[in-house]
Amino acid sequence: MFRNRVTDVLGIQYPILEGGMAIAGNGELAAAVSNGGGLGVVSANPGWSPMTERIENVRRHIRRARELTKKPVGANVPLFFLDNFADHQVSMLIEEKVDVVITSGGSPKILTGTLKRAGIKMIHVVSNVKQAIAAQAAGVDIVVCEGYEAGGIEGADELTTMVLTPLVVDAVDIPVVAAGGIADGRGFMAAMALGAEGVQMGTAFLAASECHVHQRFKEAIVKSEDAATVMTQRILGRLSRVLKTEFTKKMYDMDRRHAIDELKELIASVPPSIIGSNPSPTINGQYRVQMLGDLENGDGAAGQSAALVRRIKSAAEVIADVITEAEAISRRWGEQASAKPANARNAA
Ligand SMILES: Cc1cc2nc3c(=O)[nH]c(=O)nc-3n(C[C@H](O)[C@H](O)[C@H](O)COP(=O)(O)O)c2cc1C
């Protein structure tokens, strides 16, 4: 069940993708997602390394994933990361023969030619219809439309998954995958009903046992309730959805008061995390929460779907639970469609 263009193009069992997660998406997690039947994806800088070492760090994680699975493995390339090291990064991805590259945060046009010539499938993450049409024209194989519910950096248009997905489905011919707010079989089936042919999940995999983020961060995700997250950094010109904590509530309050200097001071006040070379202040706050479990002194990205994550499970279990629930819903819908309405039965 659920075989479609996405599973065929990517050579995977279930149309479930692991979204790129900056410092969170390690090689073990990618392998576990792929072994569970989805597409495992190595993130942009797992665990964090200084910019000069980042590409070799990603290479190590891709190799680790390859050691642990024979199934397809992808890598995420946030396009704003394509700095002076762009050529080196592209060569590395080709040398390592990743099966898929998921780009985000920019135009995929600069990479489609080279990567597709190397036989690598391309997926691009969009947050509005115009970007989806441009991504299709650039030659990507699949678009992921990511709604405002998602964890991490959001598109400026603040479109929800529920509205964005059918609009993108109507606008392009290539397969569409929905992301943002999906963590169970109900979300999966909702995405399918909207015309998507797959889902991309971040937060649900963040709390998976193979993910290398700190146990305290995973437990905070599991404990979180309905209003699990806050949107921060609007006044700094970006939208960053993070887990709600005392620290991030302060960030949110500063946004509302337009207290730019106070917010910059708060971000800069986060204690350094690594001796020697430290991440930039914005990454440092993420590092403290995600890698050190210091929830009191930083901002950890997570989506609204954190409230739907009830237990730390293996990535394979996350996928199996989504599929089992989705199949049950599909059967129920089938039974409902074939059942005669009560009044028809009475009349007979
Ligand atoms: C901790 C975290 C970090 C993220 N970092 C990135 C990233 O580096 N690149 C990217 O394309 N998307 C990133 N995202 C978005 C995910 O790839 C994915 O689209 C999103 O999490 C889906 O919504 P969900 O959080 O409701 O599952 C991040 C999400 C999270 C939770």
For residues 47 and 180, membership in a common domain is answered with yes
3-state helix, strand, coil split of the chain in percent (to 5) is: 50, 15, 40
SS3 state of residue 240 = strand
Task: Show the DSSP H helices in the chain as ranges.
Answer: 5-10, 27-35, 51-68, 86-95, 109-117, 129-138, 161-171, 185-193, 203-206, 215-223, 246-256, 260-268, 281-290, 315-338, 342-347
286 pLDDT higher than 80: yes
Judge whether 83 lies within some domain: yes
Give the ligand 1 atom nearest the CA of 204. 27
| CA–centroid distance, residue 241 to ligand 1 (Å) | 10
For residues 36 and 104, membership in a common domain is answered with yes
Tell me how far apart the alpha carbons of residues 39 and 158 are, in angstroms, rounded to a whole number.
26
For residues 188 and 236, membership in a common domain is answered with no
Which residue type sits at 248? T
| CA–centroid distance, residue 331 to ligand 1 (Å) | 31
Neighbours of 1 (CB within 10 A): 8
For residues 67 and 95, membership in a common domain is answered with yes
Judge whether 14 lies within some domain: yes
For residues 169 and 35, membership in a common domain is answered with yes
For residues 173 and 234, membership in a common domain is answered with no
Q: For the segment 65-78, what is each residue's pLDDT rounded down to a tens digit?
A: 999 999 999 999 99
Q: For the segment 29-62, what is each residue's pLDDT rounded down to a tens digit?
A: 999 999 999 999 999 999 999 888 999 999 999 9
pLDDT confidence tier of residue 275, bands split at 50, 70 and 90: low
Name all residues whose Cβ lies below 6 A of ligand 1. Answer: 19-22, 24, 43-44, 76, 78, 104, 125, 146, 149-152, 179-182, 200-204, 206, 301-303, 305
33, 103, 203, best to mutate for ligand 1 pocket (most atoms within 8 Å of CB): 203
Give the ligand 1 atom nearest the CA of 305. 26
| CA–centroid distance, residue 258 to ligand 1 (Å) | 26
In the chain, what percentage of residues exceed pLDDT 70? 95
Q: What is the mean pLDDT of the chain?
A: 94
Q: For the segment 88-105, what is each residue's pLDDT rounded down to a tens digit?
A: 889 999 999 999 999 998
Domain harbouring 170, CATH code: 3.20.20.70
Give the ligand 1 atom nearest the CA of 146. 19
Report how many domains make up the chain: 2
Tell me how far apart the alpha carbons of residues 297 and 51 are, in angstroms, rounded to a whole number.
23
Judge whether 87 lies within some domain: yes
CB-count exposure of residue 13 (10 Å: 0-12, 13-18, 19+): middle
| CA–centroid distance, residue 150 to ligand 1 (Å) | 7
Judge whether 192 lies within some domain: yes
The token pair that represents 144 in the structure block: 């992921």
For residues 254 and 118, membership in a common domain is answered with no
With residue 243 as reference, give the H or E element that holds it: strand 240-243
| CA–centroid distance, residue 276 to ligand 1 (Å) | 28
Tell me how far apart the alpha carbons of residues 14 and 3 are, in angstroms, rounded to a whole number.
7
Q: For the segment 302-333, what is each residue's pLDDT rounded down to a tens digit?
A: 999 999 999 999 999 999 999 999 999 999 99
For residues 107 and 19, membership in a common domain is answered with yes
Judge whether 155 lies within some domain: yes
For residues 32 and 146, membership in a common domain is answered with yes
Task: Please identify which residue in the block is written with the tokens 């819908």.
Answer: 333
For residues 190 and 258, membership in a common domain is answered with no
Tell me how far apart the alpha carbons of residues 328 and 138 are, in angstroms, rounded to a whole number.
38
User: Stretch 136-141: mean pLDDT, rounded?
Assistant: 98
Instruction: Give the closest residue (by CA) to ligand 1 atom 10.
Output: 20
Spell out the residues 6+ positions from residue 290 whose beta carbon is closer than 8 angstroms to its own: 23, 24, 213, 214, 217, 300, 301
347 pLDDT higher than 80: no
pLDDT confidence tier of residue 177, bands split at 50, 70 and 90: very high
β-strand pairing of 240-243 with 152-153: antiparallel
Judge whether 312 lies within some domain: no
Neighbours of 282 (CB within 10 A): 16
User: Stretch 254-278: mean pLDDT, rounded?
Assistant: 90
214 pLDDT higher than 90: yes
Instruction: Give the closest residue (by CA) to ligand 1 atom 20.
Output: 202
Q: Which of 182, 212, 242 is the last residue of a domain?
A: 212
For residues 29 and 161, membership in a common domain is answered with yes
pLDDT confidence tier of residue 348, bands split at 50, 70 and 90: very low
Q: For the segment 110-128, what is each residue's pLDDT rounded down to a tens digit?
A: 899 999 999 999 999 999 9
The token pair that represents 249 in the structure block: 């509530």
| CA–centroid distance, residue 20 to ligand 1 (Å) | 6
Judge whether 16 lies within some domain: yes
Global confidence as pTM: 0.96
Judge whether 319 lies within some domain: no
Q: Which structural domain, as residue segments, surrounds residue 264?
A: 229-301
DSSP 235: G
Q: Which of 159, 186, 212 is the last residue of a domain?
A: 212
Q: Which of 186, 212, 238 is the last residue of a domain?
A: 212
For residues 157 and 297, membership in a common domain is answered with no
Measured CA angle at 102 (ends 98, 107), to 5 deg: 125
For 87-91, the CB contacts below 8 A with 24+ separation are: 88/55, 89/55, 89/58, 90/114, 90/115
277 pLDDT higher than 90: no
